[in-house]
Amino acid sequence: MRFFVAMFSHETNTFSTIPTDRRQFEARDLRYGGELLEAYRGTGTCLGGMIDAAGAHGVTLVPSLAAAASPAGRVTADFYEATTRRILDDLRGAGRLDGVLLDLHGAMVPEGLEDGEGDLLRAVRATVGSAMPVAVTLDFHANLSQELVRHATLLHGYKTYPHVDMDARGREATKRLLDVVLKRCRPTVAWRQPPLLPPIAGQLTARGPMRRLYDRAAEMERDPRVVTISIFAGFPLADIRDAGLSVYVATDGDPGLADRLADELATMAWAHRGEFLHTAPPPGEAVARALAADGRPVVLADIADNTGGGAAGDTTEILRELLRVGARPATVACIWDAEAVQACARAGVGATVTVDVGGKVDPSHGAPVRVTGRVRTLGDGRFVHKGPMLRGLEGRLGPTAVLDVNDLKIILISLRWQTLDPEMLRVVGVDPAAEKILVVKSSVHYRAAFEPLAHAIIEVDAPGLSSSNLARFTFKHVRRPIFPLDDF
């Protein structure tokens, strides 16, 4: 049994001015052929799960490529086209195949296109023919399209946010693909796209409407006629027609059942739409509440400047407030500012420097902050995720510096990376448990690893491109009317 495998993953924030070109993929992950099996084996990722399940079931994987970049603006046309061409060439050159496994995101917007994955799937389908089983894992934030549904045999979306089930979905996709190849299963699919654009911070699966939906889906999946169910919360900051929540149900040769279950879940999502709305206090109020708390650390989540949602990762409004009130001991993790890192590196560990920090990408989200502090540490930014998310996967922050301003530590990084693992602090010499206030630039993912060590969590409504206040954005392409942009 031989399955082709490839990963091409990007979450595109169409409001971002940072283009996602080849360099951005090289900075995160771009590897070809057998190397991808070595890099992902044993990791808490879809590829890790696929590799694991293939091994357990005697399937030989034919690796093509793995390409992933930090969420930002549109993927450049030349990189998108070259990568797609490479996947198609590898498919043609792969020899006899029994199935195709793709690890995609579902919210990739290349230049000149709205629906990267739909376009890729159409090309893959045209290359392998209508009879070839094609299984795809997708992020919880996928914006599902007709094209994507039509050209895949089965889709498997993450069921958790924070995404702690990626390897489980990779295993599931591989096993189900095997079932299809061996004719143990004949998928019939239904999907629904209610007019719903849930803001990111309202999508977590620990509680609220997504929990309710996935609890009901888990009951449905106990029916042996149900193959798999995914409820995609969608990525609202890709201003494309298909952005938003969608429901995908696959049954075994029972299209009527797929339709009924998809209708029930879509109706349920719509009925609870108001619960997706999200509010948080502004920086002044959030910092005051953190200082008044009777324990430590208090995590201040900078939900609107999450690089994992395509924000710059360099906004400074919370930092400015911490400096204003003299909060300490505190850490801001992390600000993307390679220039400031270089200034610290030139001065050296122990030196006192004055630098303009952050605020360099988009002036509408706040200006740089001038600080004078001591260079506490310098580093190469390499670390390994300890989990629960991305366990075992190498992370790269690029050259780092920790600037200490009267015990307010500012972690400066050169590559954009969401603050989702406390290891990112430890690797630069900061003990997260010792701080009174910890600022993390993350919308929801930080919860997986920071909740267990936090005394309290306060979400902050500061400026940024991953804001859950969708009224701050001018949408032009998403289908209308849609909740909450329009009244219903």
How far apart CA 43 and CA 50 sit, in angstroms, is: 10
| Under 8 Å between Cβ of 311 and 73 | no
Pick out residues in 9-48 that bind Zn ion (CB under 5 A): none
The encoded tokens of residue 107 equal 């919210």
> In the complex with Zn ion, which residue's Cβ is closer, 115 or 139?
139
Smallest separation, CB 163 to Zn ion (Å): 6
Smallest separation, CB 451 to Zn ion (Å): 18
| Under 8 Å between Cβ of 382 and 301 | no
Smallest separation, CB 312 to Zn ion (Å): 18
Give the contact letters, 82-101, x = binds to Zn ion (CB under 5 A), - = no. Answer: --------------------
Q: In DSSP terms, which residues pair with 31 in a beta bridge?
A: 66
How far apart CA 344 and CA 372 sit, in angstroms, is: 11
Q: Kindly provide the b/e burial profile for residues 260-295, where b requires at least 16 CB atoms within 10 angstroms of the residue's own CB.
A: ebbebbbebbeeebeebebebbebeebbeebbeeee
> In the complex with Zn ion, which residue's Cβ is closer, 141 or 409?
141
Residue 125, Cβ neighbours under 10 Å: how many?
A: 18
Pick out residues in 125-164 that bind Zn ion (CB under 5 A): 139-141
> In the complex with Zn ion, which residue's Cβ is closer, 196 or 257?
196
Smallest separation, CB 139 to Zn ion (Å): 4
Pick out residues in 209-248 that bind Zn ion (CB under 5 A): none
> In the complex with Zn ion, which residue's Cβ is closer, 139 or 317?
139
Residue 132, Cβ neighbours under 10 Å: how many?
A: 17
Smallest separation, CB 397 to Zn ion (Å): 20
CA dihedral 108, 109, 115, 119 (to 10 degrees): -80
Cβ neighbors of 123 (< 8 A, separation 6 or more) are 84, 88
> In the complex with Zn ion, which residue's Cβ is closer, 235 or 336?
235
Cβ neighbors of 213 (< 8 A, separation 6 or more) are 231, 265, 268, 269
How far apart CA 475 and CA 130 sit, in angstroms, is: 36
> In the complex with Zn ion, which residue's Cβ is closer, 79 or 140?
140
Smallest separation, CB 26 to Zn ion (Å): 22
> In the complex with Zn ion, which residue's Cβ is closer, 104 or 323?
104
Q: Kindly provide the b/e burial profile for residues 439-459, where b requires at least 16 CB atoms within 10 angstroms of the residue's own CB.
A: bbbbbbbbbbbbeeebeebbb
Residue type, 100: V
Pick out residues in 385-414 that bind Zn ion (CB under 5 A): none
Smallest separation, CB 9 to Zn ion (Å): 10
Residue 95, Cβ neighbours under 10 Å: how many?
A: 8
> In the complex with Zn ion, which residue's Cβ is closer, 233 or 343?
233
Smallest separation, CB 473 to Zn ion (Å): 18
Q: In DSSP terms, which residues pair with 298 in a beta bridge?
A: 437, 456
Smallest separation, CB 369 to Zn ion (Å): 30
Q: How many residues bind Zn ion (CB under 5 A)?
A: 3
- The stretches of 202-296 forming alpha helices (DSSP H) are 208-221, 255-271, 283-292
| Under 8 Å between Cβ of 309 and 417 | no
> In the complex with Zn ion, which residue's Cβ is closer, 139 or 314?
139
Q: Which DSSP symbol is given to 216?
A: H
Smallest separation, CB 354 to Zn ion (Å): 38
> In the complex with Zn ion, which residue's Cβ is closer, 4 or 140?
140
Smallest separation, CB 159 to Zn ion (Å): 12
> In the complex with Zn ion, which residue's Cβ is closer, 390 or 405?
390
Q: What CA–CA distances, in Å, run from 118 to 49, 84, 121, 125, 209?
A: 23, 12, 5, 10, 27
* Residues at the interface with Zn ion (CB under 5 A): 139-141
